[in-house]
Amino acid sequence: MTRLMLLAATALTLAACNDSKTATPAADAALPAGVAAPAGQTWADVVAATPEGGFRMGNPDARVKLVEYASLTCPHCREFHEAAAETIKSKYVASGNVSYEYRNFVLNGPDYAATVLSRCQGAPAFFGLLNAFYADQVGWTEPFGRIPKPEMEALSKLAEEQAIARMAELGGLADYVKLRGIPRAKFDQCLADPAQFKAVNDLRNQAVNEYKLTGTPSFIINGAVQEGSYTWADLEPKLQAALR
């Protein structure tokens, strides 16, 4: 990923994800019987970081494993999340037959900063922060487009991690995440942690090199990339087919 892309203002990069396409939803297929969750929990409560670098919700032994590669600044990713997240959680994950894993595929500097901050809090907090960043996407990304040109030029002279941390501050992310349970000390700690940056870079390289993904959102079901599926209307019939 080039420094130019990393440091680009949100206003210039929000359109970098896949074009949305519309499909006609299929009628619900008969789903298999559910798998009982651990005592005192629902499967939506069972969250964990995965060896591949994502965060998974649901039964780790689910027969169908759904993986999403997505960007926090991508409008189509936000639209997919709005349309699908609750159904995936309450219908598919809750059954114990489907696990859902989110893997960050960063597209630009603001995305990079928000991704590091959300991932740094660990699995228990990750999905709540994911919901917040998508629900508020327009609001939290807009200030990055107003960073003065001299400040942007100064960012280009900093090392990558320093540039992302400074951009996050200039874009107001410190105040945004403070209201969502991340104090300033934790904000600074996360954005100074080389391991967090490596994990994000590794995920992007994985998406591009291993799965040959070119945009967001992209989906994998049981290890197979779902070509041409960018919306919930595209994806749900394929998820149901995998369950049959």
pLDDT along the chain (244 residues), means of 10: 51 50 50 86 96 97 98 97 97 97 96 97 96 97 95 93 95 96 96 96 97 96 96 96 95
| Closest alpha carbon to 244 in 78, 22, 10, 29 | 29
Q: Residue 3 domain-assigned?
A: no
The residues near 175 (Cβ < 8 Å, ≥ 6 apart) are: none
Res 31: pLDDT:
74
Q: Residue 1 domain-assigned?
A: no
234 phi-psi bin (left φ>0, alpha ψ -120 to 50, beta other): alpha
Res 17: pLDDT:
74
Q: Residue 130 domain-assigned?
A: yes
| Closest alpha carbon to 121 in 132, 109, 129 | 129
- Distance, in Å, from the CA atom of 91 to the CA atom of 70, rounded to the nearest integer, reads 21
Res 61: pLDDT:
96
- Distance, in Å, from the CA atom of 158 to the CA atom of 160, rounded to the nearest integer, reads 6
Q: Residue 116 domain-assigned?
A: yes
Res 12: pLDDT:
40
Preceding omega of 150 cis (within 30 degrees of 0): no
Q: Residue 162 domain-assigned?
A: yes
Domain count, the chain: 1
Which domain, by its residues, includes 154? 46-243
Q: Residue 126 domain-assigned?
A: yes
CATH of the domain at 228: 3.40.30.10
Rounded to two decimals, the pTM is 0.90
Q: Residue 136 domain-assigned?
A: yes
